[in-house]
């Protein structure tokens, strides 16, 4: 997870007040209207805070960020008064039809939606001010082709007037756009401010450029902020965070290698699938999950939906420490590290007995990484428990629909492929087309071994990638061999077939 930057948010320290006797005549519906009126007339969100539901949202945002949006609205959208025109129950929610009288403008009709206790869930006017109209026809805005590298989504983008196309990683684990500083200088992007940014394991200072235009073919995305980093991940020119998915219903189809952007509205999912709830408490997409390190365990948590992370699942240090995951039966296969914007954090990797997010089918024996202590990670408090990466996400076509506060998953053609596995200090994994690759090194490089990250593997112990996919029992049988077993790995190198011998070390 690489949290790049976010709009300034208001952090509220809410304290429990002494409970006062409730008047028998108090009407929660009337109280909500009075507090809405006080907010609009007094230009302050304060009166309304006590009438917000736990899942209150503004547009794509929820929790602290939604409250920050509310503060902005209150300061900019004032009214002389509001009037209640009617109340009815719709789909289990209370709809309150309102007439607003903005200062010096014509009256405006809108609707507020509350739960059965008349705590505010959302208000149409608030949503529309942040680009979400629930009642319009949902239309296709753009179709953006992408490339994939080991499951990762790569977009070709031009910025401002530059003719140079950039290769940017589509990264839902970041809440902004980021480029390498050196590249930004070469295409004339200048910074106008500096601020702190949160990344996996710690904090760092970055530069910010305002008012940029991104071109995806004929589609233009205007007035965008770009964070400039001295160091970014290798292989791309930068990243595009989750801003597109906050502005549009965003469908990612790995089978066709296309992203579809739709207006908010009456969107219907074209494929059978499962909807997983998502919240956006601080700029990132958070979904619920349940982890079992060994059979019979159950550790519920909240996880970042992170298409920019090259792993299946990582659990962050506070979650690991709180639940004693490293000492509760976990068997590490190798010790490695995760790197985000130049900050490296040690991890232990192995397999979890089970993992599931929300209503999705339970996954068994899935690779995971557990963040170890030390450095900035020991005091890091991210506010969520881990991150689900692209090596898991890419098994599904998915639609991010923040109007419904859900991500809709449909298994794609790679769904049944084996998960990544390690042999002799090398990590192997299947790509979306069924080819087998060296995904990376998980031990110091051995000068006697010719294998490198990014090499295509032809066979393991004489079994081709095609055979390993065709018979799901073959790979587990190979990997169950005793410690010290030798493996013959054939790889394509410079048009030649090269054999390496790897030794099982765990």
- Co-location of 74 and 49 in the same domain: yes
- Co-location of 210 and 337 in the same domain: yes
Global pTM value:
0.88
pLDDT at 8: 32
Cβ-Cβ contacts under 8 Å for 81 (sequence gap 6 or more): 37, 40, 41, 101
- Co-location of 123 and 148 in the same domain: no
Domain range for 469 is: 421-503
Indicate whether 25 pLDDT > 80.
no
pLDDT at 201: 52
pLDDT at 222: 94
pLDDT digits (tens, 9 = 90+) for 165-175: 999 999 999 99
Mean pLDDT of 267-275: 93
CB pairs under 8 A, 24+ apart, for 455-459? 455/491, 455/492, 455/493, 456/491, 456/492, 457/428, 457/489, 457/490, 457/491, 457/492, 458/490, 458/491, 458/492, 458/497, 459/488, 459/489, 459/490
Per mean pLDDT, which of 20-24, 293-297, 394-398, 442-446 is the most reliable? 394-398
Boundary of a domain, candidates 129, 159, 188 = 129
| Any domain includes 184 | yes
Dihedral (C-alpha) 438, 443, 449, 455: value to the nearest 10 degrees?
10
- Co-location of 80 and 146 in the same domain: no
- Co-location of 158 and 206 in the same domain: yes
- Co-location of 356 and 494 in the same domain: no
Reported as a pLDDT band with limits 50, 70 and 90, residue 45 is very high
- Co-location of 85 and 229 in the same domain: no
- Co-location of 271 and 297 in the same domain: yes
Which CATH number belongs to the domain containing residue 322 in this structure?
2.40.70.10
* DSSP annotation of 34: H
Cα torsion 458, 464, 465, 468: sign: negative
Reported as a pLDDT band with limits 50, 70 and 90, residue 504 is confident
- Co-location of 174 and 59 in the same domain: no
Phi, psi for residue 483 in degrees, rounded to 5: -60, 135
Which CATH number belongs to the domain containing residue 54 in this structure?
3.10.450.50
Cβ-Cβ contacts under 8 Å for 177 (sequence gap 6 or more): 4, 168, 212, 214, 224, 225, 226, 227, 238, 239, 240, 241, 243
pLDDT at 203: 62
Reported as a pLDDT band with limits 50, 70 and 90, residue 343 is low
- Co-location of 140 and 120 in the same domain: no
Which CATH number belongs to the domain containing residue 493 in this structure?
2.30.42.10
Number of domains, the chain: 3
pLDDT digits (tens, 9 = 90+) for 432-458: 999 999 998 888 888 899 999 999 999
pLDDT at 377: 58
What would the two tokens of residue 16 be?
Answer: 């429990």
pLDDT at 190: 84
What would the two tokens of residue 446 be?
Answer: 């051995």
* DSSP annotation of 12: P
């Amino acid at each position: 997870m690489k949290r790049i930057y976010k709009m300034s948010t208001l952090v509220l320290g809410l304290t429990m007040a002494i409970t006062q006797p409730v008047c028998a005549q108090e009407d929660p519906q009337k109280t909500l209207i009075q507090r809405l009126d006080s907010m609009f007339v007094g230009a302050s969100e304060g009166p309304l805070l006590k009438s917000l539901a736990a899942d209150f949202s503004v547009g794509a945002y929820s929790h602290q960020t939604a409250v920050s949006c509310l503060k902005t609205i209150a300061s900019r959208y004032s009214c002389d008064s509001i009037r209640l025109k009617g109340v009815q129950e719709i789909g289990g929610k209370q709809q309150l039809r309102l007439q607003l009288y903005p200062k010096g403008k014509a009256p405006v009709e809108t609707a507020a939606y509350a739960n059965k206790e008349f705590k505010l869930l959302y208000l149409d006017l608030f949503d529309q001010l942040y680009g979400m109209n629930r009642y319009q026809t949902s239309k296709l805005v753009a179709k953006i082709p992408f490339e994939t590298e080991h499951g990762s989504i790569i977009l070709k983008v031009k910025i401002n007037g530059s003719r140079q196309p950039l290769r940017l990683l589509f990264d839902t684990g970041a809440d902004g756009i980021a480029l390498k500083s050196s590249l930004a200088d070469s295409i004339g992007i200048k910074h106008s401010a500096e601020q702190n940014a949160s990344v996996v394991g710690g904090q760092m200072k970055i530069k910010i450029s305002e008012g940029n235009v991104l071109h995806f073919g004929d589609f233009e995305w205007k007035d965008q902020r770009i964070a400039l980093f001295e160091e970014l991940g290798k292989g791309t020119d930068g990243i595009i965070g989750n801003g597109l998915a906050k502005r549009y219903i965003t469908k990612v189809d790995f089978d066709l290698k296309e992203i579809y952007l739709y207006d908010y509205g009456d969107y219907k999912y074209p494929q059978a699938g499962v909807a997983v709830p998502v919240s956006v408490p601080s700029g990132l997409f958070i979904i619920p999950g349940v982890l079992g390190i060994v059979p019979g365990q159950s550790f519920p948590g909240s996880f970042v939906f992170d298409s920019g992370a090259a792993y299946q699942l990582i659990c962050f240090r506070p979650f690991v420490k709180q639940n004693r995951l490293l000492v509760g039966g976990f068997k590490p296969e190798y010790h490695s590290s995760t790197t985000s914007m130049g900050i490296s954090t040690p991890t232990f990797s192995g397999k979890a007995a089970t993992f599931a997010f929300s209503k999705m089918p339970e996954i068994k024996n899935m690779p995971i990484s557990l963040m170890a202590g030390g450095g900035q990670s020991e005091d890091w408090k991210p506010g969520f428990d881990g991150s689900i990466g692209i090596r898991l996400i890419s098994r599904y076509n998915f639609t991010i629909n923040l109007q419904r506060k859900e991500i809709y998953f449909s298994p794609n053609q790679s769904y049944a492929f084996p998960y990544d596995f390690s042999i002799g200090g090398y990590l192997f994994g299947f790509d979306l087309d069924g080819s087998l690759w060296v995904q990376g090194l998980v031990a110091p490089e051995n000068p006697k071994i010719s294998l490198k990250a990014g090499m295509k593997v032809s066979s393991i112990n004489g079994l081709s990638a095609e055979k390993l996919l065709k018979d799901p029992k073959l790979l587990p049988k190979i990997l169950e061999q005793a410690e010290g077993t030798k493996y013959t790995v054939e790889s394509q190198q410079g048009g030649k077939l090269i054999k390496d011998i790897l030794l099982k070390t765990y």
